[in-house]
């Protein structure tokens, strides 16, 4: 199947309908067959991908319902490692952009990018490449502590990422067990594994570690879309 007839399955995950429409317009101009699904929350996006294992690309907003900081990207990379993820965000912070790639993003698209440029960015990733903004130098090394912590967080399983997200929100084991429909013993096992992987001794230290690597976005404010 050549490039003009290939059918690509793309999920656009953004809580702003107008911007989802702009992304849809951008990718719709690609010279290939497309099946585009839209999600307005992280839960909707997760359901879409779980129901369709043949998804070729996810365009993910950093700040949307159900996501804090890099937790959504981390969860996707852990749960669906074969699905490329392109972050779409309004942030201009080079550190945050570089960190997206540290956590496994295949591209970063600023929301200020023009339609044609967005289309080219998506095409680059669908062709197996990586799209990095022209002004971002990925060779600039983060400090060693931050890099080590990023690697530790990236080692968490999908369920451990979810548990850590809930710990960041202040939920107790009983509440997490209810949300995940598992036993409290299972939650305790996940928490223990999280502490071991992050190299910390307590739930509080785990949340602090997560907040360090996620800039303002976890568990605090959003990353401005």
Q: What is the pLDDT of residue 225?
A: 42
Q: What is the pLDDT of residues 70-120, one digit of tens each?
A: 878 888 888 888 899 999 998 888 888 888 888 889 999 998 999 999 999
**What is the model's pLDDT at position 158?**
84
The DSSP code for 38 is: E
Please say whether the dihedral angle defined by the alpha carbons of residues 78, 8, 18 and 106, taken in this order, is positive or negative.
Answer: positive
88 φ/ψ angles, rounded to the nearest 5 degrees: -120, 120
**pTM for the whole thing?**
0.76
The CATH classification of domain 144-213, taken from the options 3.40.50.720, 1.10.10.10, 1.20.120.1200, 1.10.1040.10: 1.10.10.10
Topology, domain 7-126? Rossmann fold (3.40.50)
Q: Is the pLDDT of residue 216 over 60?
A: no
pLDDT in tens, 63-79: 887 776 787 888 888 88
Instruction: Give, for 110, the enclosing helix (H) or strand (E).
Output: strand 107-110
Residues carrying CATH 3.40.50.2300, the chain = 7-126
Model pLDDT for residues 24-67, shown as the tens digit of each residue: 999 998 888 899 999 999 889 988 998 887 899 999 998 887 77
């Amino acid at each position: 199947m050549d490039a003009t007839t290939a059918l690509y399955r793309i999920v656009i995950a953004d809580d702003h309908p107008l911007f989802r429409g702009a992304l849809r317009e951008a990718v719709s101009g690609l010279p290939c067959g497309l099946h585009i699904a839209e999600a307005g929350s992280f839960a909707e996006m997760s359901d879409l991908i779980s129901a369709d294992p043949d998804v070729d690309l996810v365009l993910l907003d950093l700040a949307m319902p159900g996501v804090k900081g890099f937790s959504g990207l981390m969860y996707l990379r852990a749960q669906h490692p074969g699905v490329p993820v392109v972050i779409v965000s309004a942030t201009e912070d080079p550190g945050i952009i570089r960190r997206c790639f540290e956590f496994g993003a295949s591209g970063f698209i600023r929301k200020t990018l023009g339609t044609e440029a967005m289309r080219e960015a998506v095409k680059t990733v669908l062709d197996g490449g990586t799209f990095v903004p022209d002004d971002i130098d990925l060779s600039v090394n983060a400090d060693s502590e931050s890099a080590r912590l990023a690697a530790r967080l990236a080692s968490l399983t999908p369920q451990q990422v979810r548990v850590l997200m809930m710990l960041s929100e202040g939920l107790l084991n009983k509440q997490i067990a209810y949300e995940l429909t598992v036993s409290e013993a299972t939650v305790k096992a996940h928490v223990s594994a999280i502490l071991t992987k992050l190299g910390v001794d307590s739930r509080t230290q785990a949340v602090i570690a997560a907040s360090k690597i996620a800039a303002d976005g976890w568990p605090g404010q959003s990353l401005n879309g």
